[in-house]
A and B are shown apart, each in its own frame.
Chain A
Amino acid sequence: MTLGYVIYKLILAVIVFTVTLLIAMYSTYAERKVAGFLQDRLGPNRAGWFGILQPVADAVKLFMKEEMIPSVSNKTLFIIAPGLSLLTACMTGVVIPWGTSLTIFGTSYSLQVTDLNIGILYLFGVVSIGVYGIMIGGWASNNKYSLLGAMRASSQMISYEVAMGISIIALIMTTGTLSVGQIAAQQHGWHWNILVQPLGCLIFIICAFAETNRAPFDLPECEQELVGGYHTEYSSMKMGFYLFAEYINMFVSSAVISTFYFGGYNMPFIGRFVHDGNLLAILGVVFLFAKIFFGIFFFMWVRWTIPRFRYDQLMNLGWKTLIPLSILNLVLTGAWMMRHEIISVFIK
């Protein structure tokens, strides 16, 4: 490992981190803008050109707010929780392949911070830790609404992680790898995984909505029932951290969905027109981000269309519909992969 390698990885990690934060920041703006447009309004348009400075103004407002820590709360955990939430949200971007690789002065630089051979496991592990931020925050607040929100969040995440995991196992069976980089590379041309695993893709997207606590599965923070859910007692930038983590999760979920099922940085037919490797890599990044932005828009589109599930409906959907469906998907995938062996058994 040379010094140049370390510097290149550091720069890449910093870029990924910055871009993640920037996109999360502007997702808050986009959310309000999309919500406005879907409701025949205009959304924020006063701060700067088309309201482009709105996130900055929001951040300044959050920093200026009074910092409140309830006297009955567990102070240490209360402070750790939002940081944990944000940290785990930021950690997931590491294994996403943002593009193929750039060749500069004869050296190839991969646009993936690290291609873990157990990338999917890493992703799931980090996402599972994400629920701790919410749980600890809700518990440390020592408030019944916070606790209820945290309980809902954890039970919801655990329920939907099962279906999500099983739908991913089917994907791993067809791709034959746990490395996110290889999964993206396999989908060149039209070999997008959604065409191989349409049901798995649907289940994964639904579970991703539940994992990010987005509407229609935003029960942990439903205002009408639980005041603010797990962040009822939070104020100032700690509150901002939670909100920010949600938007980062949304960005990362879109990136993961794009990479797993929608071809990642691949675009069909682009190889016919562009032959330069570096240009192709840069175009790949552009395509991936186009897919991610559409994914984020889709998240918002759904949020401002579909009303929230009731809690029993949420559990019914998770345990009685999605898990059987994902198991069915798993069995069908297995049967299809072993079709020659199965047929040969019956023919013999």
Chain B
Amino acid sequence: MQPLTNRSKIVVKKEMSLYERIYLPAIFSGMMITMSHFFKKKPTIQYPEQTRPFSAVYRGQHVLKRDDNGAERCTACGLCAVACPAEAITMVAAERKRGEEKLYREEKYAAVYEINMLRCIFCGDCEDACPKEAIFLTDRKVDSEVKRNLFTYGKDILVEGVEKDKRVDVSKRQTPEVLEFKKHKEFEHNR
């Protein structure tokens, strides 16, 4: 039969020599190998204190951005929910009332905006789909919880704070190239 690869080996089951049958030399060499590992540097990362270096464009927990005046950018258009391959995003839209101009940038806003973090696959498609630069993935990690329903993050967790120090920096993911790319309406994903 023609061999598919040249990696096949002919197995020989030969009698063991006396030296091999004593086992003790083999045991000794094995124990030396484990002992050499005893003194090796451990690759363990002590997680809560130490963290792995993250990529600048790491896709972690989402943030809903505000504009410079502190108004929510999201208009509840639902493009992110449509783009989401895991169907993790749900929202309820509402109309902006008079006097709420400071809170919401445009006439329509998301009264409820929920992302199920257990369903989310952190692909970043919601961010690509968003025409209002409202949702971004950040380099924050989703915390562990003890109950499944606690993983459904609402606006209380997702929307960033109004104050300067509570804003979430997404400049790494919102580079000029990305902004330029999003302007081209001829691409499928920008329509």
Q: Once the chains bind, are B34 and A42 in contact (CB under 8 Å)?
A: no
Q: Once the chains bind, are B44 and A304 in contact (CB under 8 Å)?
A: no
- The residue on B at minimum CB distance from A301 is B31
Is the contact region of chain A dominated by helix, strand, or loop, or is it mixed? loop
Which residues in B have their C-beta under 8 angstroms from that of A41? 42, 44
Which residues in A have their C-beta under 8 angstroms from that of B85? none
A41 to B46, CA, bound (A): 11
Is the contact region of chain B dominated by helix, strand, or loop, or is it mixed? helix
CB contact under 8 A between A40 and B40, given known A305-B27, A306-B27: yes
Which residues in A have their C-beta under 8 angstroms from that of B44? 41-42
Q: Once the chains bind, are B40 and A301 in contact (CB under 8 Å)?
A: no
With most chain B CB atoms within 10 A of its CB, the pick from A41, A42, A305 is: A305
Q: Once the chains bind, are B30 and A305 in contact (CB under 8 Å)?
A: yes
Quick check: is B148 within 8 A (CB to CB) of the other chain? Answer: no
A41 to B41, CA, bound (A): 9
Q: Once the chains bind, are B30 and A38 in contact (CB under 8 Å)?
A: no
What range describes how many residues of B lie at the interface?
Answer: 10 to 19
Which residues in A have their C-beta under 8 angstroms from that of B33? 305
A37 to B43, CA, bound (A): 11
- The residue on A at minimum CB distance from B31 is A305
Which residues in A have their C-beta under 8 angstroms from that of B43? 40
Which residues in A have their C-beta under 8 angstroms from that of B37? 37-40
- The residue on B at minimum CB distance from A39 is B37
Quick check: is A302 within 8 A (CB to CB) of the other chain? Answer: yes
In the complex, which residues 12-36 of chain A have their Cβ closer than 8 Å to any Cβ of chain B? 34
Which residues in A have their C-beta under 8 angstroms from that of B42? 37, 40-42
1/0 per residue, CB under 8 A from A, across B9-34: the answer is 00000000000000000010011011
Q: What's the nearest-Cβ distance from chain A to residue B11, in Å? A: 20
Which residues in A have their C-beta under 8 angstroms from that of B38? 34, 37-38
A34 to B31, CA, bound (A): 13
